[in-house]
């Protein structure tokens, strides 16, 4: 697939790509950037890295992913699934150690792509994908409650499970404040109404603009995005010592596997919400991992943490009507402009408004139609759906997928064991 096709500019580009599609890509890119900004900072901080490196992950990897990836609206960035690996490397070896681990993991991802392992990782049952989507939606919603209730900021939270985060919020409800809740709920309400009026309206962006206007008009003094440094981080230098490299290989392989599963599952979830329910092509799965492998090599060279598929940003593009890789490129460009200008309007956007955007995306990901179908599902499908969704909230996304898929393996073994007993003997 060439660049013109990726951007919707094929031989009949004038018919297939017009102002409506351009508006969708632009608004989706802006919203994805606004979502990426605070959480890129937060994830890098949790890893023990300079916070701005989390933003540069998106800036450095987006062009490569847009050019070589197969899902045009899959937006990448730093994610909590990679935090334990990179945090340990940063604690033991500093920024250079985390960068080295990222590059080694990227090499494994390229190996997965070249050897065709990516296509096998993509063969996940539909019920597991749907359960993963609902679990991620719940996790996104819960993760924003502390900010919307005024209990924390993205920079001050831990990387615990969604259940632990929910328990923490419930225990501290007595400390909740009204203003951040009003701003967050305003975004959710406006985005919901706008999306109902027009499915392709930039609903989250409209909500953020309204919340910004409310905060300025009433003089609310909530935590804002703030000014960020605009300098590209220098290329990280480190020595490739055989002993240290070999010691990192198990962690790098595990990080690559976790990241690969995340990317491919998130890609399927995003395609589901685009109305495309076909199984991912084998070549597309391999190419997607190859694109992220290349992109993360670039990020690692500058010390930026790894990029994986992010449901909130990707769904934002879809909900705003984005259809091409132009949205991914614009998302990186907007982040770069924000860092460059810094003191503009964006720096004064209240953090609770961005929390409202992510919470609204979480509500959209809950896929209410799946819950309506639950009583009519086959027992194994229903069990896999519920187990995957619950495990995402209680443990982590990767283990959730493993548990959901293992249920099908157990069911297949049980079916093979009991089937002969039900076959009548010949007379």
Q: How far apart are CA 184 and CA 190, in angstroms?
A: 10
Pair 345, 114: CB distance under 8 Å = no
Structural domain includes residue 128: yes
Structural domain includes residue 409: no
pLDDT along the chain (427 residues), means of 10: 53 61 91 84 79 90 95 90 83 88 96 87 81 86 90 60 88 92 94 84 83 92 76 65 85 88 88 75 89 96 92 88 93 89 73 87 83 92 94 83 90 79 50
The 3-class SS string of the chain reads: CCHHHHCCCCCCHHHHCCHHHHHHHHHHHHHHHHHHHHHHHHHHHHCCCCCHHHHHHHHHHHHHHHHHCCCCCCCEECCHHHHHHHHHHHHHHHHHHHHHHHHHHHHHHHHHHHHCHHHHHCCCCHHHHHHHHHHHHHHHHHHCHHHHCCCCCHHHCCCCCHHHHHHHHHHCHHHCCHHHHHHHHHHHHHHHHHHHHCCCCCHHHHHHHHHHHHHHHHCCCCCECCCCCCCCCCCCCCCCCHHHHHHHHHHHHHHHHHHHHHHHHHHHHHHHHCCCCCCCCHHHHHHHHHHHHHHHHHHHHCCCCCCEECHHHHHHHHHCCCCCCHHHHHHHHHHHHHHHHCCCHHHHCEHHHHHHHHHHHHHHHCCHHHHHHHHHCCHHHHHHHHHHHHHHHHCCHHHHHHHHHHHHHHHHHHHHHHHHHHCCCCC
pTM for this structure? 0.73
Q: How far apart are CA 70 and CA 310, in angstroms?
A: 15
Pair 208, 357: CB distance under 8 Å = yes
The phi-psi region of residue 72 (left if phi > 0; otherwise alpha if psi is between -120 and 50; otherwise beta) is alpha
Structural domain includes residue 9: no
pLDDT of residue 304: 92
| Residue at token pair 């023990």 | 48
| 52-68 helix and 282-301 helix, angle to the nearest 10 degrees | 140
Structural domain of 123: 16-368
Structural domain includes residue 68: yes
pLDDT of residue 10: 45
Pair 249, 76: CB distance under 8 Å = no
Structural domain includes residue 402: no
326-374, pLDDT tens digit by residue? 999 999 999 988 888 765 677 788 889 888 888 887 888 888 888 999 9
pLDDT of residue 15: 46
Cβ atoms within 10 A of the Cβ of 317, count? 30
Structural domain includes residue 423: no
Task: Please count the structural domains in the chain.
Answer: 1
Structural domain includes residue 27: yes
Structural domain includes residue 54: yes
Q: How far apart are CA 319 and CA 364, in angstroms?
A: 9
43-91, pLDDT tens digit by residue? 787 787 887 898 999 999 999 999 999 999 999 999 877 877 898 888 8
């Amino acid at each position: 697939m060439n660049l013109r096709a990726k951007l919707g500019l094929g031989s009949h580009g004038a018919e297939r790509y017009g102002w409506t599609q351009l508006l969708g890509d632009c608004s989706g890119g802006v919203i994805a950037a606004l979502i990426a900004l605070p959480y890129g900072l937060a994830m890098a901080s949790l890893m023990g890295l300079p916070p701005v490196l989390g933003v540069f992950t998106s800036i450095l990897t987006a062009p490569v992913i847009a050019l070589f990836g197969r899902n045009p609206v899959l937006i990448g960035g730093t994610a909590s699934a990679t935090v334990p690996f990179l945090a340990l490397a940063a604690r033991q070896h500093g920024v250079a150690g985390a960068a080295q681990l990222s590059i080694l993991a990227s090499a494994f991802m390229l190996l997965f792509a070249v050897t065709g392992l990516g296509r096998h990782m993509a063969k996940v049952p539909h019920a597991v994908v749907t359960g993963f989507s609902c679990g991620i939606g719940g996790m996104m919603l819960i993760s924003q409650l502390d900010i919307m209730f005024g209990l924390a900021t993205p920079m001050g939270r831990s990387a615990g499970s969604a259940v632990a985060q929910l328990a923490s919020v419930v225990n501290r409800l007595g400390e909740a404040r009204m203003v951040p809740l009003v701003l967050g709920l305003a975004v959710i309400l406006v985005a919901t109404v706008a999306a109902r009026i027009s499915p392709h309206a930039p609903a989250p962006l409209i909500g953020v603009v309204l919340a910004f206007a409310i905060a300025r008009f009433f003089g609310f003094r909530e935590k804002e995005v703030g000014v960020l440094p605009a300098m590209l981080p220098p290329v990280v230098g480190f020595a490739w010592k055989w002993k240290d490299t070999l010691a990192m290989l198990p962690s790098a392989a595990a990080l690559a596997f976790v990241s690969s599963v995340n990317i491919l599952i998130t890609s399927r979830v995003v395609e589901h919400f685009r109305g495309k329910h076909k199984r991912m092509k084998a070549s597309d799965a391999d190419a997607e991992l190859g694109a992220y492998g290349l992109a993360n090599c670039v990020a690692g060279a500058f010390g930026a943490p790894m990029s994986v598929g992010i449901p909130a940003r990707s769904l934002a593009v879809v909900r705003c009507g984005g259809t091409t890789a132009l949205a991914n490129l614009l998302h990186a460009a907007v982040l770069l402009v924000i860092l460059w200008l810094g003191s503009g309007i964006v720096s004064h956007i209240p953090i609770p408004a961005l929390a409202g955007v992510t919470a609204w995306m979480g509500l959209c990901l809950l896929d209410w139609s799946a819950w309506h179908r639950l009583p009519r599902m086959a027992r194994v499908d229903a069990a896999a759906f519920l187990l995957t969704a619950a495990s995402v909230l209680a443990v982590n996304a990767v283990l959730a997928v493993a548990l959901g898929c293992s249920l099908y393996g157990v069911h297949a073994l049980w079916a093979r064991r009991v089937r002969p007993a039900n076959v009548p003997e010949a007379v």
